[in-house]
Structure 1
Amino acid sequence: MFRGVLTKSQVQMVALLSIAVLLGAIWKATSQPLLSTREQLECRCFPGDDCWPSSEEWSRFNGTVRGKLIATVPLASPCHDSFPGVDYDPDKCADIQANWARPSLHFSTMHSPMASFFANQSCDPFTPRDAQCIVGTYVSYAVNASSASDFRDTIAFAEKHNVRLVIRNTGHDYMGKSTGAGALAIWTHHIKGTTIFDYASPGYTGKAMKIGAGVQSFEAQAAARASGLVVVEGDCPSVGIAGGYTQGGGTSPLGSKFGLAADQVLEWDVVTGKGEFLTATPNQNSDLYWALSGGGGGTYGVVLSMTVKLYQNQPTAGATLSFTESSDTYWDLVRAFLMNLPSILDSGASVYFQFLPGNVFSLPQSYFLGGTAQDFERLFQPTLRALNQSGIPYEWNSRNFPGFQDAFHTLNPEMNISEVNLGGRLIPRSLVLSDDSATSLVAAIKLIVSQGGIIAANSMDFHRPPTFPNSVHPVWRETVFLAFLGTMYNPYNMTDNIRDQHIITNVFDPALEALTPGGAAYLNEGDIHQPNWQDVFYGPNYPRLAAIKKVYDPNGVFWGPTQVGSEAWEVSAGGRLCKTRN
């Protein structure tokens, strides 16, 4: 994720016609004409349609789920006059604006996505007081689920009434999978609880943790630490660990030591699209286990809990590095650093770094479980030597911490939301093994940054095969870093964001794709408009994943953009989810 970046350079303008086409195609929260009966059969029911459940039907459903149904009242409604039952309140609005970048403001709600792009200014705290405030692209209702029966009842209601269904935990979602106009959400956020125990199976014997669907990374890590252990978690402490994070693969500061989050899973407890409660392991419902472990969240079923491996906590080293240089020497130093990465990762360390406009390099955090500050000094020597020889000032710091969590909390304090127009690519190790290939990679990075783009990277060693086969894209095993690229989201001008998204798809991503033919991108942190997304996000696993989805979700209850099987449906200009017209 991007850290500490508040501005962006101007980028080239794209033709207004392209902007208009894109604006008309995605997430527009406006009212639209009612559909005919025949047309309604081709779409999910939408508020205002004849088929939309009546207030009495919603009330009866609320009784079925024991009062857990919640109707959406947009988070920013106190900033406007127009939402029924909510008065304009300047003090509340100011507080919402001041805390908008804090994950806690959004994950405490059942509707607000942290990526504002997918809210499409339905009810935005930064638009004028007299601007619209409607439910729009937010989910219409959510069930504050606490059990498998809540999952089953909600799935059954959505199927009966042909209502769009989404799965939501915290709202950490760059791909728009956990929100949707006219949708009913299964909200898993309050399914808490962790249990640490001794696990024994043919493939793994050791400490394990059973994690409820709503448990966030900081909660799981705190429980592990209390027992002298660590759990593989993501970069942001408030991400739900059992949801789309692990189901989509899951990068981690502990990745070089232990692999992706999906590599840690021993069991899944899940309610499928058919309403069946199943436990999936490498030996029981193994096809479902395989699909859930890397094939994307909210696709095959709703996860109630997962069980994962735990590891012994150890003293941990951390390091930071930054430098700025206006001359082309900067890019020579970038190349030296990139070629230094394989030896750093092979040691078991994980590194986060950024390339920012203005020739700014920032490495705000890196971790070496079981390593020392002296080890980091040695591992970074090729980069530090190049810096010393250049005479360019730089800031370097390495230090020791008693345990992993101490390092993580120090180097990665409370993280605000990274509001970005997003793209990405997995960069293979082969591109940093020779001067020529590394020079080509640096040229692509320079092209992106020189046009106002920003690149953040998670660099970890994932080449070790997992204990149990899973559906993570095979390219991960060849990856030296995940390039997470884009421009900063503009909360005041949606047209700017649409334009930038167009540039990411047509300029920034292709610069890296040209170097990685047949390559991949991370399905949790990629371009929502990624061409050929089935191959790019899922690779050779896609046909088998699609077949497994038909087994466990034969009626296509679960849908989200770029999820397996999602090509059968599309979001119309007004937000309706309709069958794709071939």
Structure 2
Amino acid sequence: MAPRSLIAGGLVALAATGDALATVQRVSTGSTSGAAFFESETLQLTEASLSQLSENQSAWFDFAKNDSDLHTRSFGGCKVFPGDWLWPSEWVWRLFDELLGGALIKTVPLAASCYSSWPEYDANECETLTSEWTNSNIHAADPASVMWPLFEGRTCLPTTNASASCTVGGYSSYAVNVSNVAQIQLAVNFARNAGLRLVVKNTGHDFNGKSTGAGALGIWTHNLKEIDYIENYRSPSYQGPAVKLGAGVQAYEIYEKANELGFTAIGGEGKTVGVAGGYVLGGGHSPMSSIYGLAADHVLALEVVLANGRFMTVTEESNPDLFWAIRGGGGGTFGVVTSVISRVQPKVGVTVSTFTFSTGTNVSADTFWAGVRSYMKRFPAHANAGTYAYFWVLSTGTDSFTFMMNPFFAVNHTLAQYNALIKPWYNDLKALGISFTPNSTYYDNFYDAWNAGFPLETVASSVMMTGSRLFPRENWETASSFNATFNALHETVANGYSLLAFNVKAELPDGYTPNSANPAFRNTLLHAITSTSWDANATNSEIKSKMEDFTNNVLDKWRATCPDAGAYMSESDILEPNFQQAFYGSNYARLYKLKQRYDPTGLFYVPTGVGSENWVVKSEDGLPDQNGRLCRV
């Protein structure tokens, strides 16, 4: 099953065998977004296309005729699962692949080369894979692998024991390697009509495994890499430079293009993050957020395949409700986005600084924490200046700690301006007797600064989970609230948990259209992440106990300092209590109503997503992963 397409005039015939033949229309009408369709978006499924099929064949791939026709098959109240008698037969899967042009991939776990029970077994390849397992690129480039295998179910990890068990587990059973819109429409219609679980994967970055699911059909948008720079984009609400991104474009790709063409794009800190995928749809903070807000704030239009299989241009003018919901309401929730059009910003200079300080012979634990406290007190001033900081505080032993600024990212600051901003804190550190050696460099463009400041992500641990909190500005407004915040973070690290944090603000820029991003972002000064871990040989019950203790005790101390705030859904605790309030805040009721309008059967399910409380995954190991049937509550 390999991608292929045969183009003939205005029609693209996707080759088939036997008596099965379908045609996909190359549409002649343009997008109403203010920018032309990408080539991949001109190839669409139409009613005329489906008329080429027999009645039995088209029943699997028909559009929903209206909202009331969004029916779906189920098996005992669950999505149809491999082995069920309702599971599509081999001839249906072959037909589906033929209509896709050979783009259907039957899942082989990425680590199958380590297991003698798989035809892909190869000890040398396994050794290479094992050495690269934490590299985010290899997971992004696989149609089913996700970067946090704990939430797939840990069913096929690299191993030196070739006789161990490897199963597809919580990975999707099949994936469509998307190269055009018609393939997405076929997959959406097929999953809906057949009652299959559907997942959408771009890179697989999400911390909670939103792009994986046992028995699912996956839509893999990773290869939609088109980029168009629009020097003078016009819409009723905006006129100026913009960029149109395919859903598969990653941060390093758009940043390279922006640097080449002389503009600055808003995207993620991580190099392999899919900018136009779940990142922007979940809000998306970035090294530019303290000046320009969230990535979702910059979106001007989207091209989307909805649950009924229809391809739609979504703008503020054409569909204000959906335009509001998709921008911040979470990926894999309202449809499959094929491209976004976003504002871009002028070229900017950045000063990047890294340094560390630690406890030691002349620096007690109390002195160390006094230095950290001095920094934390300056969060409002630093964020107000438009800067962004990514830092760690780690316990290295009994009363032994390290602080790592990695990096301080001062947008629109020369080296002199950065030094002036940071000088009050530096003076405090020196007065405390804390030694440190800043490595500070000015870059005249965002790309070089970002490339120097942020290394490739390390991913794929199966012995840890994370949780986070967006600490609001109010926590810095009184001595008592600041002390409570500082003490909670101090206690977390002193108890042996890491602190990875971002001093950032993310206010909606003046004149920008509001969206459904978590309202907690608009008032935050600190996005903080911590994690827990367990032994590799821990039992499932031991892991579950660790996870619950982390949620209910460690993170609860953070929540207590700001109970009305929230957390960033894409870097969160999957067991977050009252996720509706934590990830969506006051937007949840409206988002849920729109979810029922556009996806009443729950075709698009993701853990902790809008409407996910109506479903449960009957996990094989009892953990909150995606290795099990998806069933109605």
TM-score (norm 1): 0.90
- Secondary structure of the 2:389 match is strand
- For residues 190 and 175 of structure 2, what CA distance do their matches in structure 1 show? 12
Pair 1:557-2:595 in alignment: no
- Say which structure, 1 or 2, has more relative contact order (CA 8 Å, 6+ apart): 1
Task: Report Cα offsets for 1:300-319 as digits up to 9, x if no partner.
Answer: 00001000011111222111
- For residues 576 and 415 of structure 1, what CA distance do their matches in structure 2 show? 29
- For residues 573 and 524 of structure 1, what CA distance do their matches in structure 2 show? 21
Cα gap change, 1:260 to 1:514, in 2 (>3 Å): same
Correspondence for 1:283 among 317, 324, 345? 317
Contact 1:335-1:439 within 8 A present in 2 as well? no
Shift of 1:218: 0.8
- Secondary structure of the 1:387 match is helix
Trace 1:66-465 onto structure 2 (pairs within 5 A).
66-83=101-118, 85-87=119-121, 89-126=122-159, 128-197=161-230, 198-325=232-359, 326-358=364-396, 359-417=401-459, 419=461, 420-465=464-509
Query: More displaced, 236-245 or 318-327?
Result: 318-327
Shift of 1:105: 1.1
Specify the code of the residue in structure 2 equivalent to 1:211.
L
Specify the code of the residue in structure 2 equivalent to 1:149.
A
- For residues 411 and 181 of structure 1, what CA distance do their matches in structure 2 show? 37
Shift of 1:578: 3.8
Structure 2 partner of 1:481 = 526
Cα gap change, 1:93 to 1:456, in 2 (>3 Å): same
Pair 1:471-2:516 in alignment: yes
Task: Report Cα offsets for 1:329-374 as digits up to 9, x if no partner.
Answer: 2222211101111111111111111111132111111222221111
Task: Report Cα offsets for 1:48-69 as digits up to 9, x if no partner.
Answer: 1111111111111101111100
- For residues 127 and 514 of structure 1, what CA distance do their matches in structure 2 show? 44
Cα gap change, 1:432 to 1:394, in 2 (>3 Å): farther
- For residues 62 and 204 of structure 1, what CA distance do their matches in structure 2 show? 42
Structure 2 partner of 1:5 = none
Shift of 1:450: 2.2
Shift of 1:490: 5.6
Contact 2:136-2:456 within 8 A present in 1 as well? no
Structure 1 partner of 2:51 = none
Cα gap change, 1:578 to 1:61, in 2 (>3 Å): same
- For residues 479 and 314 of structure 2, what CA distance do their matches in structure 1 show? 46
Shift of 1:191: 0.8
Contact 1:569-1:577 within 8 A present in 2 as well? no
- For residues 56 and 493 of structure 1, what CA distance do their matches in structure 2 show? 43
- Secondary structure of the 2:437 match is strand
Contact 1:46-1:576 within 8 A present in 2 as well? no
Contact 1:422-1:501 within 8 A present in 2 as well? no
Contact 1:425-1:484 within 8 A present in 2 as well? yes
- For residues 39 and 376 of structure 1, what CA distance do their matches in structure 2 show? 59
Structure 1 partner of 2:45 = none
- For residues 195 and 578 of structure 2, what CA distance do their matches in structure 1 show? 29
Specify the code of the residue in structure 2 equivalent to 1:242.
A
- Secondary structure of the 2:570 match is coil
- Secondary structure of the 2:301 match is strand
- Secondary structure of the 1:328 match is helix
- For residues 499 and 245 of structure 1, what CA distance do their matches in structure 2 show? 30
Unaligned runs of 5+ in 2: 1-72, 621-626
Structure 1 partner of 2:85 = 50
- For residues 270 and 212 of structure 1, what CA distance do their matches in structure 2 show? 11
Specify the code of the residue in structure 1 equivalent to 2:112.
S
Pair 1:572-2:618 in alignment: yes
Aligned-pair identity (%): 37
Cα gap change, 1:352 to 1:134, in 2 (>3 Å): same
Shift of 1:283: 1.6
Specify the code of the residue in structure 2 equivalent to 1:243.
G
Contact 1:421-1:501 within 8 A present in 2 as well? yes
Correspondence for 2:96 among 61, 71, 78? 61
- Secondary structure of the 2:81 match is coil
Cα gap change, 1:232 to 1:497, in 2 (>3 Å): farther
Contact 2:303-2:337 within 8 A present in 1 as well? yes
Specify the code of the residue in structure 1 equivalent to 2:532.
T
Trace 1:22-37 onto structure 2 (pairs within 5 A).
none
- For residues 159 and 548 of structure 2, what CA distance do their matches in structure 1 show? 23
Shift of 1:492: 5.4
- Secondary structure of the 2:619 match is coil
- Secondary structure of the 2:168 match is coil
Structure 2 partner of 1:9 = none
- For residues 490 and 303 of structure 1, what CA distance do their matches in structure 2 show? 39
- For residues 219 and 535 of structure 2, what CA distance do their matches in structure 1 show? 30
Task: Report Cα offsets for 1:370-407 as digits up to 9, x if no partner.
Answer: 21111111111222111111102223232211211111
- Secondary structure of the 2:219 match is strand
Specify the code of the residue in structure 2 equivalent to 1:408.
W
Task: Report Cα offsets for 1:80-139 as digits up to 9, x if no partner.
Answer: 1122x233x221111011000111111111011110212322111036322211111111
- For residues 499 and 454 of structure 1, what CA distance do their matches in structure 2 show? 19
- For residues 303 and 595 of structure 2, what CA distance do their matches in structure 1 show? 16
Shift of 1:418: 6.8
Specify the code of the residue in structure 2 equivalent to 1:411.
G
Considering only CA atoms, is the larger Rg found in Structure 1 or Structure 2? 2
Specify the code of the residue in structure 1 equivalent to 2:422.
F
- Secondary structure of the 1:40 match is coil
Q: What is the aligned length?
A: 542
Contact 1:465-1:477 within 8 A present in 2 as well? no
Cα gap change, 1:578 to 1:104, in 2 (>3 Å): closer
Query: More displaced, 282-291 or 299-308?
Result: 282-291
- Secondary structure of the 1:380 match is helix
- For residues 152 and 494 of structure 1, what CA distance do their matches in structure 2 show? 42
Unaligned runs of 5+ in 1: 1-37
Contact 2:355-2:404 within 8 A present in 1 as well? yes
Specify the code of the residue in structure 2 equivalent to 1:345.
A
Measured on the aligned residues, the alpha-carbon RMSD in Å equals 1.8
Contact 1:127-1:492 within 8 A present in 2 as well? no
Structure 2 partner of 1:18 = none
Cα gap change, 1:418 to 1:234, in 2 (>3 Å): farther
TM-score (norm 2): 0.83
- For residues 158 and 261 of structure 1, what CA distance do their matches in structure 2 show? 30
Runs of 4 or more above 4 Å deviation: 488-497
- For residues 174 and 339 of structure 2, what CA distance do their matches in structure 1 show? 23
Specify the code of the residue in structure 2 equivalent to 1:151.
I
